Amino acid sequence: MIYQLLYNLLIHLGLPLALLALYRPKKGKPGFGARWAEHLGRFPASDRLGEPSASPLWIHAVSVGETLAISPFIRALKAERPDLPILLTTTTRTGAEQAEKLGDLVMHRYAPLDYPWAVAGFLNTFKPRALWVVETELWPNWLAACEARHLPVTILNARLSERSCQRYARFQGAFDALSRPLSHLLCQHQDDGDRFHRLGIGRERLAVTGSIKFDIRLGDEVIDRGRALRQQLGQDRPIWIAASTHQGEDEQVLAAFERVQRDHPQALLILVPRHPERFDRVAELCAPYGCVRRSRQQGEPLKPSDGVYLGDTMGELPLMLAASDLAFVGGSLVPIGGHNLLEPAALGKPCLTGPAYFNFSDITRQLLAQGGAALVADSAELGDRVSALLADEGARREMGEQARAVVLRNQGALARTLSHCLASLESG
């Protein structure tokens, strides 16, 4: 109880800062428009549900990555239960844009911020039958409100890094209160399940279903668009991509690019920053290398002097990966924790990552052990490794095949997760 009181005191004191961070206009970052009040638990009267049978299943996916991951699952769930109303919430606008692609399969609303009055407004409006959270997005007031209303909570694709486990262990009492409302945790990997168990969650509430992210389906459209983009960029040019880079990492990637150009003067770097509000700043960094922005390209072929292709659009990373010879995945040369290597791996691309990949340790370790990925310690090693792979088509092919093999070996999590979730709906 003391943890809850202290937490609520702190978040209310910090409310102005939270709202400023969420709603402050940023160039290149879409706003929330008239729907901003949804974050505060305020919804149109038309959203209020009269019949208990209309109570939706609440699925929460915080942002675009989680929404992409859960979308195939939602399609499979609706195929099994077409009568089941699904309310999909996201916190971010980019997540909302991805949710819109699901069309009539879901109703999308922004998730309430973790204030008791905002959560109460949300639950009073929609009266959901259960909450399924994608990955480990645990909010104390959400969970307390669900517990008070006897609302079952399931964590899908649950993961827990060793670092997070150790942090939670320092505040075991708070974690016990936080985890008590959780009905089931469907973990990505055995390591995740073991860490949750170390923190006191019983095995009866844990299952290892695998990561639904492995059940990635990049269709023929992505491949075909990737080929078309490759034609524009230069079919015979060596092309590598640095995807999902963060502040402080772009400079390291560009330093590596300079090393690559010594051996491959015609090499092209596709640089895709993680956050859209950074596009303009990264374009300035890339200008000395001859920068072409994806958003401003009209489809004409690139010139030999164009050295960097800036991916400053949303939702097009897969086709840029498909157009590349190999991929470095960012957030790993700076202490962010890395990003998912599965998209390039599923496309059969050699994968490179920096040492700070702790948020995706199991996936990355599998790829490293199989030879589908390689670890680079710094920008110098990144440049050397990229240069060597661009010079050796056979090595690239072998590495890409091993990367794809890891993805194929791990598929099936979607079906296992769906089976658990359908059983919980029936029992509920």
Q: Which residues does the annotation mark as catalytic?
A: 66
DSSP 104: G
User: Residue 373's closest CA among 274, 336, 361?
Assistant: 361
| CA dist., res. 9 & res. 271, Å (int) | 42
Q: CB burial class (10 A; 0-12, 13-18, 19+) of residue 110?
A: buried
- The set of residues, in sequence order, having a beta carbon less than 8 Å from that of 159 and lying 6+ positions away, is 135, 136, 187, 188, 189, 192, 211, 359
* 58 strand-pairing partners: 87, 131
Chain Cα centroid distance, residue 110: 17
| CA dist., res. 135 & res. 128, Å (int) | 19
H/E segment holding residue 158? strand 153-158
Torsion of CA 384, 385, 391, 394, to 10 degrees: 160
CA-CA distances (angstroms) from residue 343 to 217, 244, 282, 320?
A: 9, 12, 23, 11
| CA dist., res. 244 & res. 419, Å (int) | 33
User: Residue 167's closest CA among 195, 139, 203?
Assistant: 195
| Three-class DSSP category at 271 | strand
Phi, then psi, of 308 in degrees rounded to 5: -125, 130
H/E segment holding residue 327? strand 326-329
| Three-class DSSP category at 292 | strand
Extract long-range pairs of 283-290: CB within 8 Å, 24+ residues apart. 283/310, 283/312, 285/250, 285/251, 285/254, 286/250, 286/254, 286/310, 289/254, 289/257
Q: Show the tokens assigned to 222.
A: 């992505």
Q: Is the dihedral of CA 61, 66, 68, 73 positive or negative?
A: negative
Q: Show the tokens assigned to 198.
A: 């170390």
